[in-house]
Amino acid sequence: MKKNILLLCGGGGTEHDISLVSSKYIEKNLKEIGIYNIIKVEIGKDKVFRKITTDSQLGAYLGEVVELNFKRQLVGLITEDIHIVVPCIHGPPGETGEIQTFFELSGLPYIGCGPEASLNCFNKVTSKLWFNALEIPNTPFEFLTSMEDVARAHKLFDQYGKLFVKAASQGSSVGCYQVFKKSDLDSTLLEAFKYSSYVLVEKMVNARELEISTYEYDGAVITTIPGEIKCPSKFYSFEEKYDPLSKTTTEIVAPGLSLETVEKMRSLALKAFTHLKLRHLSRIDFFLTDEGEIFLNEINTFPGMTPISMFPKMMENNGHSFNKFFKDIIAKNIL
């Protein structure tokens, strides 16, 4: 009898629809493996779990409401045992550690990072503090817990002349803003606080945006050669990432990098993956400034798997089959 894989997607956050797109790619690969029964469930924007059912005439559609219980069962019209979960959820509750905490309490195996690593990487303030503790270079920053801290943001602006203001707990550049005029700083901070209880303020740098797929394969942690995001607007916003009219392009292998730069980035990615206790897969993003400085920007604990996403492409370019990667990770963790 085939074991059941629960493919969770959606999540209800700002990246809900992107998670649905990524889940199609993962579902395709799971079907190609061909040895598991795939149960696909969307967590709606109303937080309700609904099965995604496929009909020969209607195609895929949201069907019955179901519930995942602490007995590792999916309860609906039929109760089904779940043997492992693939939480394809960008943003909350997938990259914030919430859904993983439930899995841990249930003793239910799952793919991806654990609760603590997920939360530490998703919160931009926490991750920057970790980078500093590990002596991993990152852009100079301050963080605010309320508008009463605004003087620190003004001091940083006076020092660097232009800043990024970022809601601490959002993904895909949601709640992120460029500030070029000091007179715009307070209103931008207020806007960012609408998305998060903490706001990160950091130096804006002129830099290339480079990404490294970091993952476990045949018992080793692998770091790929950096790929590159080329964004004409110099700000890789949500719209630039996912709008069909976006002018942003990607390079699976970033051109013109010295061997020293590549190896430095790969060593920093490995250091972050190891010491932040990441698991299975991640995409680790860097800035390479015009002056040759390398800064770790952020870590995605469940990277995108959309048609424009770099993670699977860089893995395949590195000579590793995404299909085999998924098959092996599931085999090692399934009940």
Calpha distance 190→78 (Å, rounded)? 48
Neighbouring residues of 57: CB distance < 8 A, sequence distance ≥ 6:
none
Q: What is the pLDDT along the chain (335 residues), one digit of tens a residue?
A: 899 999 999 999 889 999 999 999 999 999 999 999 999 999 999 999 999 988 666 677 788 999 999 999 999 999 999 999 999 999 999 999 999 999 999 999 999 999 999 999 999 999 999 999 999 999 999 999 999 999 999 999 999 999 999 999 887 678 899 999 999 999 999 999 999 999 999 999 999 999 999 999 999 999 999 999 987 755 554 555 555 566 678 999 999 999 999 999 999 999 999 999 999 999 999 999 999 999 999 999 999 998 788 999 999 999 999 999 999 999 999 99
Distances (CA, A) of 295 to 1, 183, 283, 298: 49, 28, 15, 9
CATH topology of domain 121-137+206-321: D-amino Acid Aminotransferase; Chain A, domain 1 (3.30.470)
Question: If you ran DSSP here, which 8-state letter would residue 110 be given?
Answer: B
- Per-residue pLDDT tens over the stretch 60-76: 778 899 999 999 999 99
Model confidence, pTM: 0.93
Cα angle for residues 274, 280, 282 (degrees, 5° grid): 75
CATH 3.90.1170.40 given to domain 141-203: no
Per domain, the residue ranges of the chain are 3-110, 121-137+206-321, 141-203
Calpha distance 206→148 (Å, rounded)? 30
Calpha distance 175→179 (Å, rounded)? 13
Predicted confidence at residue 1, as pLDDT, reads: 86
Cα angle for residues 295, 321, 17 (degrees, 5° grid): 65
> Of the candidates 271, 257, 248, 205, which has an alpha carbon nearest to the alpha carbon of residue 227?
257
Calpha distance 12→1 (Å, rounded)? 33
Calpha distance 53→183 (Å, rounded)? 52
CA 54 to chain centre: 27
Predicted confidence at residue 264, as pLDDT, reads: 98
Helix (H) or strand (E) holding 48: none
Decide whether 121-137+206-321 matches 141-203 in CATH topology: no
- Per-residue pLDDT tens over the stretch 153-172: 999 999 999 999 999 988 76
Q: Which two tokens stand for residue 96?
A: 């914030």
Q: Which two tokens stand for residue 193?
A: 């606080």
Calpha distance 234→289 (Å, rounded)? 12
Neighbouring residues of 330: CB distance < 8 A, sequence distance ≥ 6:
5, 33, 36, 84, 111
Predicted confidence at residue 57, as pLDDT, reads: 65
- Class in CATH terms, 3-110: alpha beta
